[in-house]
Amino acid sequence: MVTVGTVHTLQGMERHLVVFSPTITFASLNGSGPFFDRGVYMLNVAVSRAKNAFAVIRRHGPV
Stretch 29-56: mean pLDDT: 74
pLDDT at 63: 56
Q: What is the pTM of this model?
A: 0.65
Q: Which residues contact 41 (CB under 8 A, 6 or more apart)?
A: none
∠ CA 61-47-37, rounded to 5°: 60
Q: Render pLDDT for 4-35 as a digit per residue (tens, 0 to 9).
A: 887 778 888 888 998 888 766 666 556 655 55
Residue 51: the pLDDT is 92
Q: How far is CA 4 from the centre of its chain?
A: 11
* CB distance 45 to 10 below 8 Å: yes
